[in-house]
Chains A and B, each alone.
Chain A
Amino acid sequence: MGVVLGPRVIDAGLSLRLVLISPVAVAAGYPSPAQDYFDGRIDLNAHLIKDITSTFVVRVTGDSMERAGISDGDELIVNRALEPKDGSVVVAVLDGELTVKRLRLTSAGVVLQAENPRYPDIPVPSLSELTIWGVATRCLHHV
């Protein structure tokens, strides 16, 4: 039944439905029609991280990846579970340090490339001798 309480006229059925599906509890007052459409804000974790157990955020130091759009101080989202492919931006272990490079798998061999002409390519005897820590999926570039 419709109850009139001053200006608040709420159909009993409608108010019940609002309570059930709305994330914002409305005890009284005129219900906002927008609430029916509210499904939560954009969650960057949901969009940027596909696998929470294997994804890590790392910070870049140095400018050897400039031409790939990766600058000093940028953060990379790195997924350890991905299979590195030709062209992947990878975090590899070089001399005990985590290093970011472009991986090249060609008929001529395995090469770790910088994206800056001032840095030389690093040939690797074979993929099995290279420890790939993870594959970068996104760069959080500071603009």
Chain B
Amino acid sequence: MSKPAPMRQMQEIALVDVNCFYASAERAFDPSLEGKPLVVLSNNDGCAVTRSPEAKALGIGVGEPWFKIAPRAKEWGLIARSSNYELYGDISARVMELLGRYSAWLEVYSIDEAFLGVKGSPAALLQLGREIKAAAARNVGVPVCVGIARTKTLAKLANKWAKHNPAFDGVCRWDSVPAGRREALMAGLSVVELWGVAARLTKRLNAIGIHSVLDLSRADPVRIRDKFSVVLMRTVLELQGTPCIPMEEERVGRDQLIFSRSFSTPITTAAELRQVLSVYGQQASARLAKHDLQAKVLTAFAGTSHYNPQDTSYPSVCVPLPMPTADPVILTKAAHALLPAIQEGVKYARAGIMVTDLRPTGNQKPLELFENPHEERNIRPLLEDIARRYGRGSIGLGHAGIRGGPDWSMKRGMRSPRYTTHWDELPLVKAA
């Protein structure tokens, strides 16, 4: 749930984000990667999701499939890493904790970017931006860029500018740049490059003579509202320097949790899928319990690959739960409701579950009549305790507990050590 911030209290908004986040997190612990072309691959080592500037210079596009790049990797000296989510999650948390020291208003926008409410004179704001950049590099070891402006939309623009124009040295305050240069920048940017403007609007905007960001900033907000939407009107006002998109506190009121992965090898039988759904049911249970939440609705789904147009199948079921719950047995059973919809022999490339209508645990005690017998016997804490002691995958309901991981689990063959979350995988330092 979002709570509007008192806008008058806040003079400007800083957008801080980590440059090439995944690649930078890898380099923080492996200095030998510095200056070398590096790509970080998506789930199952599918495609390049993050490219270091050196990898971009080789012409590797974002989302380029690894099997296409791999044959030339050696010749290029290109290094690839599988996604190391444990590492990225921890580095992200450290960056956000650090940013929190600079402002009471911190909105974590994604794994590698956050908005901060900042106050002060123009010189003080620029100084603050430089301090944040230096602290992230020194304390956590990752490079960040900072864009500071009166509105979120302009802060995004300033951040982009800071990133692409080396003259800013990573920190740009919008209003500190002469108006002529700002207009030249906006004139050269197409409206689609703007935060919050959907690509599908481009044609309609072009039709009324709005091509560049500068054109949009000079449009009449009321006309934009009438012809398009309130959302786009806000963007216009934000470009003109009027804050319209309030700061949101950290999104604690999550309204859904999704557990979904693509498989390293397709699944073709209901029996295998039953195992997958069991794992997700238990992961959902553990995550709900961690956040003191219970779910009221569970949706389970599966799908074939987009690359394989034959035999397409996208079954899904929505299961209303008898009462709000985080019980692993109930959630797993509910997820299994998908199984009758599975077509044997069809190659499923992904599956998942989503729990929605979440509410805090223990607001009202259920009537004893509806109390669920598994919760009484405390199955969940027992499973969690064993998983904590012997590792995830050491125990599970039904077929979910298979040590060493069933063969559909994610492929991460080129993953670096989980340096900050696993005691056996600490960074090594040479004493030689």
> Which residues in A have some Cβ–Cβ distance to B below 8 Å?
51-54, 56-65, 70, 72, 75-76, 80-81, 91, 93-94, 96-100, 114, 119, 131, 133
A70 to B431, CA, bound (A): 9
Q: Given A53-B139, A80-B140: A60 and B97 within 8 A (CB)?
A: no
What residues on A are CB-neighbors of B255 within 8 Å? none
What residues on B are CB-neighbors of A80 within 8 Å? 138-141
What residues on A are CB-neighbors of B1 within 8 Å? none
* Max count, chain A CB within 10 A of own CB: residue among B29, B429, B432: B429
Q: Given A58-B428, A65-B431: A97 and B98 within 8 A (CB)?
A: no
Do B32 and A97 have beta carbons less than 8 Å apart?
yes
Contact of A60 among B31, B34, B138, B429 (CB under 8 A): B429
Contact of A61 among B34, B141, B428 (CB under 8 A): B428
Q: How large is the interface on B (under 10, 10 to 19, 20 to 34, 35 or more residues)?
A: 20 to 34
Least distance between A99 CB and chain B CB atoms (Å): 5
Least distance between A138 CB and chain B CB atoms (Å): 14
Chain A residue nearest to B430 (CB atoms) is A99
Interface stretch of the complex, out of B107-115, B241-249, B419-427? B419-427
Determine whether B94 belongs to the interface, using a CB cutoff of 8 Å to chain A.
yes
Q: Digitize B397-432: 1 where CB-to-A-CB distance is under 8 Å, 0 elsewhere.
A: 000000000000000000000011000001111111
Do B140 and A97 have beta carbons less than 8 Å apart?
no
For the complex of A and B, the 10 pairs showing the least CB-CB separation, nearest first, are A96-B32, A62-B431, A54-B139, A62-B432, A64-B431, A98-B429, A59-B426, A93-B31, A53-B94, A65-B431
What residues on A are CB-neighbors of B31 within 8 Å? 93, 96-98, 131, 133
Do B98 and A53 have beta carbons less than 8 Å apart?
yes
Q: Given A56-B419, A97-B31, A131-B31: A62 and B430 within 8 A (CB)?
A: yes
* Max count, chain B CB within 10 A of own CB: residue among A56, A58, A91, A99: A56
